[in-house]
Every structure is written in structure tokens, then in C-alpha cells.
């Protein structure tokens, strides 16, 4: 079993709100054999991206081959999601002890997803008459002959009922994003879909920090307008009084509203947005640190470095070194 604890990449943002114990959610991606390991990495990437957007919750992903280890009891599966990672060509092997292993997972998991050919597990285990599932055209004839009811040829996923299903591995990502909407709200789900390319971006700015704060503020209009204004003025930061005039509100009201809705201070957030932009430029461009400091409203590379180290506990030089050298970059260069 491959076990992934996915870093959440949230930097200092957690410190701006009230301390809330972090919840851990577990996802077991179950494979028919080891040949599917590479394709299942996309699920790991999906939850890694989600961890960077949500607060007070982290997802841990396990990749398992069915029947290769102990199935786990009710306590193990409480609150855990099982994803049977099928393909578009093959039935699942349920020979020998695998039949009992798979049946136990279907019975015990809190949320079960059948992908591609894995929907035929319901036929193989004698459960065909109990569910309506999303069936890929490759398996439609077999499903029809076996009494497995399809939710329609034009339907690529079935989010209702238990188990859930998706016709392919790509449509499975859309289904998983539906679960994100159920668990974290549609705002985070939309931000995630845009972030990983499932949909075209709908937001003016792609900022994980802004997405988290909008979610925390429950879509408060003034908070959203404030974040948009700050992100539009990264290179030449506005004063708080200029920002309040732009938003047609008083300085005091703006600061109080922002703090009460997000738990974050306005000035601190503005600086974090600028630092987030600087981090992106360091990672993904060849701009010099003089150019980056100017592009993010810092008076000099020295000022950027001081603020960057306080926020991220690393230096701009280290981030730039990792861009070119990866893990071989020397520490503290």
C-alpha cells in the first residue's frame, strides 16, 4: 500500500484565523493490479490541490491493490472513501480471496466510488439489481444483460446513492469535485475545478489565499470586492484609506468588516497577497529579484527578502534555487 500525506501549502494563512483542530480525511484508491498505479497518481494530485485550498482539513491518500493486504475493520473505514479505480477495457478480478475483500470494502466504506469497468463489480458480486450507476458504452451491453441499471448513455457520473460511479477516470475527477462541493461548499469546488483545469477560470485572479478567505467569509460581497481591489493593485499597493475610498466605505468599517468575516487583518492580508505573487514569480519565471520586488510593491529585494522569510520561513534565494536544482539545492543559500 502506497501512503501519501499531502502537504497543504497554506504557509501563514492558518495563523490569521482562530485556531481550529485539523480534521484528517482518508481516501483509499483501490486498484485491480499494480499496472494502474501510475494512472492513480492523478487522484493524489487532485487531493494535493484540494489541501492547498481548504482550511482545518487535510486529505491522506492511500493506493492499494485489492486483496494484497488486510481489508480493515469498521473502525478503519469509518468516514473513509474507497475509490475502485477501473479502466475502460477490463473486468475486475474477483477470484479467490479478492471477492470477500472487495465485498467487505463495499459494505464498510462510508463513501464508495466505482470507476469505469469497476461498476461491473456489482454484477460479479450479485448486487446488480440494487443500484443505478453510470456505465461506459464499452460495458453497456454487459450491464444490460446482467440487469445492472444505467443512469443513461449521456450521463458520465452518478453522484447520488451508494455506491457512486463514474464512466471513466477523467469523469471520476468531476465526481470527486461534486463531493468537494458537498463537503466544503460550491465556492471551494469551483476554485478547485478552475485550479486543476476541469473548468475555465471564472475568477479575476487565481489566488489560493483569496479563495480561502472568500470561503471563510462565506462569499461576503465586501470581502470579495476588497480582495479583487488588492490583487489589482499589487505592484503599487494602495493605502487603507485609498482602498476604502475605492470601495466607497469608511476605513474603520472596512477593517472591522474584513476582520469579522475572515479573522484576518486587512494590512496583513494585503502583504500576504503580494508575497504569494512574489512566490509564484520566483517559482515560475526567470524574473530577477529586483524585478519581482518592484512587481509586488516592495521597495527593494532586501525588503522582499525580510517579509518573505517571516511569512514562508525560507528565502527568495532558496525558492529560486529549487526552481533550477530541485531537492539538490543547498539549504540557506
* 27 strand-pairing partners: 61, 81
CB neighbour burial string for 16-34, b if at least 16 within 10 angstroms, e if fewer: beeeeeeeebbbbbbbbee
Domain boundaries, the chain: 2-187, 208-328
Give the pLDDT confidence of 266-320 residue by residue, as tens digits. Answer: 999 999 999 999 999 998 888 999 999 999 999 999 999 999 999 999 999 998 8
Residue 87 contacts residue 116 (beta carbons within 8 Å):
yes
Residues 6+ apart with CB under 8 A from 114: 84, 86, 121, 122, 133, 163, 164, 165, 166
Does the structure show a pLDDT above 90 at 323?
Answer: no
162 pLDDT band (50/70/90 cuts)? confident
Structure confidence at residue 233 (pLDDT):
94
Give whole-number Cα distances, 57 to 51, 173, 200, in Å. Answer: 7, 19, 26
Q: Is 90 exceeded by the pLDDT of residue 12?
A: no
Q: What average pLDDT does this structure show over 144-162?
A: 81
What local confidence, expressed as pLDDT, does residue 146 receive? 85
Mean pLDDT, range 202-228, rounded to an integer: 83
- Return the residue matching grid coordinates 539545492: 329
The pLDDT of residue 328: 44
C-alpha cell at 158: 452518478
**pLDDT in the model for residue 204:** 56
Give the domain 208-328 fold: Arc Repressor Mutant, subunit A (1.10.10)
Residue 230 pLDDT: 95
What pLDDT shows up at residue 1?
A: 62
The pLDDT of 143-171, averaged and rounded, is: 85
Determine the topology of domain 2-187 in CATH: Rossmann fold (3.40.50)
- What is the model's pTM? 0.70
Higher pLDDT, 54 or 7: 54
Amino acid at each position: 500500500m502506497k501512503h501519501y500525506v499531502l502537504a497543504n501549502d497554506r504557509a501563514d494563512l492558518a495563523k490569521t484565523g482562530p485556531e481550529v483542530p485539523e480534521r484528517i480525511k482518508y481516501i483509499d484508491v483501490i486498484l485491480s493490479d499494480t499496472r494502474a498505479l501510475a494512472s492513480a497518481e492523478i487522484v493524489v494530485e487532485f487531493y494535493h490541490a484540494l489541501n492547498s485550498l481548504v482550511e482545518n482539513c487535510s486529505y491522506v491518500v492511500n493506493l492499494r491493490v485489492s486483496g494484497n493486504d488486510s481489508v480493515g475493520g469498521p473502525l478503519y473505514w469509518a468516514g473513509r472513501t474507497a475509490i475502485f479505480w477501473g479502466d475502460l477495457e477490463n473486468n475486475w478480478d474477483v477470484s479467490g480471496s479478492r471477492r470477500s475483500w472487495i465485498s467487505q470494502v463495499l459494505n464498510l466504506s462510508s463513501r464508495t466510488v466505482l470507476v469505469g469497468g469497476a461498476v461491473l463489480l456489482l454484477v460479479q458480486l450479485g448486487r446488480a439489481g440494487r443500484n443505478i450507476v453510470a456505465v461506459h458504452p464499452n460495458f453497456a451491453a454487459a450491464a444490460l444483460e446482467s440487469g445492472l441499471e444505467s443512469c443513461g448513455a449521456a450521463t458520465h457520473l452518478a453522484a447520488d446513492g451508494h455506491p457512486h460511479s463514474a464512466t471513466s477516470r477523467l469523469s471520476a475527477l468531476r465526481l470527486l469535485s461534486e463531493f468537494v462541493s458537498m463537503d466544503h461548499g460550491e465556492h471551494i469546488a469551483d476554485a478547485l475545478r478552475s485550479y486543476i483545469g476541469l473548468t475555465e477560470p471564472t475568477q479575476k485572479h487565481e489566488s489560493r489565499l483569496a479563495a480561502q478567505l472568500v470561503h471563510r467569509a462565506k462569499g461576503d460581497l465586501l470581502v470579495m470586492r476588497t480582495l479583487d481591489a488588492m490583487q489589482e493593485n499589487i505592484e503599487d499597493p494602495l493605502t487603507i484609506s485609498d482602498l476604502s475610498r475605492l470601495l466607497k466605505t469608511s476605513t474603520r468599517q472596512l477593517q472591522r468588516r474584513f476582520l469579522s468575516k475572515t479573522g484576518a487583518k486587512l494590512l496583513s492580508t494585503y502583504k500576504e497577497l503580494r508575497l504569494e505573487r512574489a512566490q509564484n514569480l520566483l517559482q515560475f519565471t526567470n524574473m530577477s529579484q529586483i524585478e519581482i520586488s518592484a512587481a509586488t510593491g516592495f521597495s527593494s529585494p532586501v525588503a522582499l527578502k525580510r517579509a518573505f522569510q517571516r511569512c514562508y520561513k525560507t528565502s527568495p534565494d532558496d525558492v529560486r534555487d529549487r526552481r533550477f536544482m530541485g531537492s539538490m539545492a543547498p539549504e540557506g543559500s
